[in-house]
Every structure is written in structure tokens, then in C-alpha cells.
Amino acid sequence: MFLTSDFCFLTWCFCIKFSRYCSQNLAGPRMKIAVIGQSLFGQEVYKELRKEGHTIVGVFTIPDKDGKADPLAAEAEKDGVSVFKFPRWRVKGQAIPEVVAQYKATGAELNVMPFCSQFIPMEVIDHPKHGSIIYHPSLLPRHRGASAINWTLIHGDKKGGFTVFWADDGLDTGPVLLQRECDVEPNDTVNTIYKRFLFPEGVKGTVEAVRLIAQGKAPRIPQPEEGATYECIQKKDNAKIDWNQSAEALHNWIRGNDKVPGAWAEVDGQKVTFYGSSLVDNGTTANGQPLDIPGASRPGLVTKSGLVLFGNDGKALLVKNLQFEDGKMIAAAQYFRSGSSAAVELTEEEKAFAVWQSILTNVAQIEDSTDFFKSGAASMDVVRLVEEVKLRASSCQLQNEDVYMNTSFQDFIQMCVRKLRGEDDEEELVVDYVEKNINNMTVKMPHQLFINGEFVDAEGGKTYKTINPTDGTAICDVSLAQISDVDKAVAAAKEAFEEGEWGKMNPRDRGRLIHKLADLMEEHQEELATIEAIDSGAVYTLALKTHVGMSIQTFRYFAGWCDKIQGCTIPINQARPNRNLTFTKREPIGVCAIVIPWNYPLMMLAWKTAACLAAGNTVVLKPAQVTPLTAVKFAELAARAGFPKGVINILPGSGSLVGQRLSDHPDVRKLGFTGSTEIGKHIMKSCAVSNVKKVSLELGGKSPLIIFSDCDMDKAVRMGMSSVFFNKGENCIAAGRLFVEESIHDQFVKRVVEEMKKMRIGDPLDRSTDHGPQNHKAHLDKLVEYCQTGVKEGATLVCGGKQVQRPGFFFEPTLFTDVQDHMYIAQEESFGPVMIISKFKSGEVDDVLRRANATEYGLASGVFTRDISKALYVSERLNAGTVFVNTYNKTDVAAPFGGFKQSGFGKDLGEAHDKLLTLTFFVVVDPPLLLAFVSRNCLR
């Protein structure tokens, strides 16, 4: 019998031999290949061919530019492969004999041309025994020629892709070897379709074509003439916009020329190039400053979102960026303000913030007017410049676009300094407020959706009224999100996570942003508490302390976790002859959808969102439809704190529409829900069917509170009142049923009634109010019905049970006694100010535990007794996520919170927060082979 390590060693030997067999017999024989081309694409093809075991006998590429080698040449030179940099292969249509001779001397059996801008003579194309293959970014025979990707977009093709074909005399008419296609998205540009499909899949396809040749299985499919097209090369001169077209045709023309050569038109007497086009939904109205464009069917509109243009069909498109003849690029929304920025006075330290010199090596001295691109910089230098700035000043979060929009040294430095000082107002946040003079202050309330860093109207301009429960009047109209709005928000969150600066941000910088958000919330705490009071009915003093206060604490707590989310090393059995290193790594999961309830609108937002952000996720949140206002105010504060676009998105709307779409959406990777058990079950099913997304649920409760005769009576009465009537009873952990030992039952009830009579019902903004209105009319009606059911079943209604006769949704604090186990009010929660009291016989601890646990809920519970042994015994046997002993409602951001059974699963708050420990990698590294086995455990 083999020992484990011996077996592993033999398994390893088998795997190595099997791998060699597969590589030799499945990939085919190795070939001598000449790679003819350039660019990063050519570099990647070259690297993959070497990995396949082929011998690269020569790399033929373009001469160095400004002293820098092409990426393909640089890679080959690093490997010691022969590199030839011919300026040309032909003169006056004839091949240069010396060039052809140098090529033939390499002994190539196949020419691979992954991206080739030079004209290669047929003497070279036909020389190898296997001929030559070339990559072309179109589905030949459509769009033959050098601008194939451009014309795919200009023509509005729904399908794109690439072809690997047998090279002919340069007319792209040779036989097809391999093709791959993809869908063309409505707003794709040359850059997006290239990055998403043509580059990564093109590399794989080219290598696969070589593999087919090596195996002797490569087809030669003649190109048909039917469907063949050949358009001109897109150059700046012929990229001028013809305005006499539909909006869709204009959009296709602009995106088809983005970024090179750039679609342009004359505006205000100069050539202006348009970038970043997208179609505008029908029915959307735009407000902005008119911009006259010669030849256009109507003037454009400079709006907060960009430049709106119109086709001859009356439909619209939106352009994000503009570039002038001098190379300066601006956000289209800034067109009328492009020259109004005041110069920033630089400190000596800030003047030294120059990193251009190391990049622009051919410039002797950089002056304020020095232009980055006119001095020889290229697109790769933009990346290098941005990364060097980030290394020197991590708080200056640049994007490549910032360089294109600030090409002169002075403009670039001023832009960087503004970012460092937090004064970057290039895209000013535009907020349409509803203002109210209330609570001795002016309250400014946003009321639109918040998507991708902007407040926007819902599709079709749909709205609804949010109601003040104090008097039943409308506070304002709020945008009502539609399915298309959900899709936009999720797309923005996905983009921010995968491509934006949020996903690349240092965890400590992420923590700094969250701390800044908490500071802004504290600056606006009175305003937030006032909004919470008028929108949810929360008593202002409670809103200030708990609804807002704990929200601020939550963001501060999790801001501190950002750079402390750590993995661990794990000791494992060692496999001879090597020793293994095993470790875990925790990473964010992606887009998190959050659906929150109406009882604590801001606090539930904080509980669910803070840890998501700390872990590096992005968020799409749906507040309760009846309490949206603190959520959209929070969105404004997050934007002002500097959160990147798309990281936080807020969608007021209905649960059946917005919540359902979030549950079904394939790009949402985690959904957190607080609400009813019935809806929680439905959400869990939808999440499973859609894409098996992770779910955490905080659902209904019927929390038992057991009060023994040896309790501190004063404390039991005070905390018993709090356990039921805190926040008008609209409290997920409210004591849904009190079990009082019979020897003190009557005394306890008498004391509670006395305290209830002292409770002051009234305006939540009045500092002396104890009990404000219920959240909304439907809930008030439900409470009335709940109490009527209790009376019908025979429970004793001691006091309350009715709506207060005054405007608004006020309900009397209510007390029921003589409640039997079989009654509806003993089994179901009221979620309101209704105290349910049942007796239990003295000394029957196990029996009262049985009755307390006879529920499908398990969120919270409590016990009051002076006997420490009894307290421990009872607390260990109560089936609830939280057990309070001689207290109640004491939650803290550092203590985990959550239930089980039909109260849901998953934890909020504390180190055990599900959203904090988001994604765990388990990695085993076996040196020297460096084999890695990765197991993902997505916690939240």
C-alpha cells in the first residue's frame, strides 16, 4: 500500500506525462513561425505561440518610434528572438531583395500576421510551406479593408467579430480559416468592442488557427462575393458628420469613429470632435443651453449630462466629450464654461508635482504651455502618467480621460492640484431640491433617482407622492424607478466595480472616503433626522440619536475595517518532495443589491451598505417606497464625499418591480433584504433561479420576553415598555409577546398601564413627544384589524387598540392580557405598539421556554431575573439570534445581528458581518511547479 505522499508523487508524475502527451498529440507538431506585425495584440499572440511550444524564428515589426520599440519588438528582444524592423518591404510595388533575403534566411514554415500595418510582398506571403495567415477584425467578406471595426459600427451591424484567413495579395479576399462572432451592443465603440471581444478572443482565435494548421485540420473556405463590402480607410478628413440623418445613424457615425479618427463638425467657427455617444430614450426631455450647430436639424442642448444632439427624425443622442482643434478635450456639459476656470495658485510643493519629464524624454524643459501629445507622448504614456501620479499621490485619483482633457502642462497640474485639494468641480453635482422650512431649518431634499453619480428622472418621467404620516399630506413627488432604470443602475455599478477607480482603490483610501461620508452625515444630522421624522414618523429626538446617530457610527466602524480584511495561512499535510504554502485571500464579490424596509430608513441603509462598501463592492439600493427621502439625501452626501460614479445607486420604487428585477438580474451577485418572511421567501427563490446569487435575509419576528418574579420590577417595567413601544413598535426585534410569572403578573400590568398613560402622542418634531404616527396608512389599518382579531379571539384589551382621532396615522399604544397560545395575536407579530402579555406558572421554567420557542421565528428574545444561573439557563435555550438579559434593544455596531428559522439568515454589523467577509480564495501553491488550486467561498 502506498503512503499518501508516495501516491501524490506518482500522481504528479502521471499528470506531467499526460500533459506532455496532450501537448504533443493534441496541439500537433511544433512549427518554425515568423511573426509579422506590431502592437500589444501582436505581443500577446507571440507570447501564446511560444507557450504552445512553437519556435519563433523571427519577429518582423515596425521601426522604433521616438526611441521606443513596439511592444511586440520589446517582448521578442527580451526573449533573445531575432527582431527585424524594416521601414518598408517594397519600393514602387517591387519587393526589396535584401529584405526578402533576410526574411527567407529565418527558415519560417508559417507566417503569422496578428496585426500588420505594412504591405507584405507575395514573395514573403507564399514562401513558407504552410503559407501565411492574418487576423482581420470583421466577419469577412463584410467590411474588407483597414477600418473594418469602424464600419461595423457605422453601419449599425448587430453582429461583429473577427476572421483569421489565408493571406492573399492584400485585398482581404483570401480563403477563411476561422471566424468568431459577437453581439454588438447599442453603445459599443471601437475601444469597447476591441477590449471586450476582438482583442482577447482574437488572440485565442489566432493561436487556435495555428493549432489547426499544425494538426493538418485547417480549412480553406473561399470567401463569397455575395455580401462583400469594401469601405475606405477612415481618416479625419472624411469623418465629418452629415447632420441630415436619423439620430441612430448619427450615433453610429460618432461611435464608429471614436477614438480614431474622431467624428467632427464645425461649431462656432472651429472643428469640434465628438466622443462618447449614446442614444437617448424616447420621451426623455432635456433642459439645457442651446448650441447652434450648422447643418443640424435643430440646435443641440448643453445639459448637465452632456451635449444632446438631434437627428432629422426628431430623436436624440447624447455626447459626453468634445475636443477642439488645439487638442484640448472637455466634458460636453462644460462647453459654455470651458474657458472660465480660475487659475490655482500653487505652493512650492505642488509646483514640484511634475512627472512628465521622465516620460517626455525628448523635451529638454517643460513649460506651462508644453503639450503632452505634441511632445511625442502616446496612449501608453497616458497610462504610465496616470499610474505615476497615483504612486506619488494616492489621493489624486486620475483617469486616462483626465489627461486627454488637460493636455498642456499647466492645465494638467491645475487639475491634479484641484483633485488633491478636493476642489475638483469639473462635473458639478446637479441636485433638484425640494426645500421646506421646517423644524427651525431649511431642509433641502433631493427627490430623483441616483444612478452613476447623477440625479436623474425615472424612465418616462414617472413619479409618485411620498406622504407625511403626521398629517397625511404629500411631502413631494419622488421619481418612480422602472425596469430600465434598474438595468442602468446595475450596469453602472458593474462598470464601477470592474473598470472604475473604485475597484483599483487602495483599501485605506476607500476607508478615507467612508470616513468623509460619515463626517458629512454628521454635519447634516439635524437635516437627516428632520427628513426621517416627516417621511417615516420617527420621533425627532429618537431619529437624531438612533436613526441617524447609529448610521454615522456604522459607517465609521466599517471605514476602519477597510484595510483589515485579511486572509490567513493554513497548515496542511506536506506532499513530498515539496513543501506547500497555503493561504486564503478575501476579495469583494461585485454588485450588491439591497432592499430595505420603512421602519428605520437610514439606519437599515447604513447597516446593509457600510460593510459592502468597506469590502470594495458596489451597491444598488432600493429604499422602501413609502420612505425614500433619507436614502436619496444620503446619495447626495456620498457624491459630495467623492465616491466614484456608479459605486452607490439609489432607486426609489415598488418592490414588485424594482425589487423583483434586482432579484432576477444576472449581474447582481449578492442581495440583502430586510422585510417580511413572505417576501423573503419569494426573493430567495428568484435569486436561486436567476443566477444562484448569494442572499442574506432579515425577516419577521415574534420575539419572546420572559419576566420572572425575582426580577428588578422597576427595570422590567421600564425595559418592557421599551421592548414593545420603542420607535412606535415598528421595530424588528420588538418583544412580540411577554411571558410574566403569575405571582407578579397583576402588579406588572398595573405598572405598565400607569406608564402607558404618561406617554405623549403627537407631532414627532415636538421635543416632548414620546409616540409619533405609524409609518403609513396601510400599516395603520393593519394594526386596527390586528387588535380587532385579538378581541374576537377572547384576549382582554386593557387599553388602546384604536386609531387616534386626529389627522395623520396615529394609533393608541395597546395592551392585551389573557393571551392564550392558540390565538392569532400570540403567534403573529403586529409590528406596532401592541403589548401581548401571557402568564406562566411559578417555577415552570422549562414549560415557559417551550411556549416561548413554539414559533417559526427566531430573531430576538429576552429574560429578566436576578438569578444568574436561571439567566444563563434560559438564554442558552431560547432559540433566537439575540438574547437580552435584564435589558432590551441594546444593539451596537460592533455586535453581530441576525436571526434564524423563518427570521432569516446572515449577519449584519460587527466583525462577523456577511458583507465584510465577501469572497474567500483558498490557494495551495506547490513550488517549484507553482501549481495553484483555487476554491472560492462567496460569503456575501
Query: Annotated binding site, which residues?
Result: 118-120, 172, 596-598, 622-625, 655-660, 675-676, 782, 829-831
The DSSP element (H or E) to which 107 belongs, if any, is none
User: Where does residue 899 rank: exposed (0-12), middle (13-18), buried (19+ CB within 10 A)?
Assistant: buried
In Å, what is the CA distance from 871 to each residue of 743, 819, 866? 19, 24, 8
Rounded CA separation 310/670 (Å): 39
Ramachandran bin of 657, using left for φ above 0, alpha for ψ from -120 to 50, beta for the remaining angles: alpha
Q: Which of 54, 130, 136, 547 is catalytic?
A: 136
732 labelled catalytic: yes
Q: Which residues are annotated as a binding site for NADP(+)?
A: 596-598, 622-625, 655-660, 675-676, 782, 829-831
Return the closest-CA partner of residue 480 out of 696, 578, 645, 626: 626
The residues pairing with 591 across neighbouring beta strands, listed in sequence order, are 618
The cell for 456 is 436623474
Rounded CA separation 608/791 (Å): 38
DSSP output for 248-271: HHHHHHHHHTTTTT-EEEEETTEE
Q: Which residues are annotated as a binding site for (6R)-10-formyltetrahydrofolate?
A: 118-120, 172
The DSSP element (H or E) to which 585 belongs, if any, is strand 581-587
The residues pairing with 454 across neighbouring beta strands, listed in sequence order, are 451
Contact 804, 814 (CB under 8 A): no
Return the closest-CA partner of residue 729 out of 785, 697, 699, 770: 770
Rounded CA separation 887/909 (Å): 20
793 labelled catalytic: no
The cell for 209 is 488557427
Instruction: Name every residue whose Cβ is closer than 8 Å to that of residue 838 and which is 6 or more positions away in sequence.
Output: 737, 738, 739, 740, 818, 819, 820, 821, 826, 851
Contact 815, 752 (CB under 8 A): yes
Contact 716, 748 (CB under 8 A): yes
Rounded CA separation 765/574 (Å): 67
| Strand stretches in 304-421, DSSP E | 306-310, 316-323, 329-331
Give the full edge-to-edge strand order of the sheet including 670-674. Answer: 454-456, 449-451, 648-650, 618-622, 591-595, 670-674, 694-698, 904-905
DSSP output for 842-861: TT-HHHHHHHHH-SS--SEE
Ramachandran bin of 72, using left for φ above 0, alpha for ψ from -120 to 50, beta for the remaining angles: alpha
698 labelled catalytic: yes
Rounded CA separation 398/390 (Å): 7
Q: Which of 732, 741, 745, 776 is catalytic?
A: 732
Instruction: Name every residue whose Cβ is closer than 8 Å to that of residue 193 and which is 6 or more positions away in sequence.
Output: 149, 152, 153, 160, 182, 184, 185
Question: Which residues are known to be catalytic?
Answer: 136, 698, 732
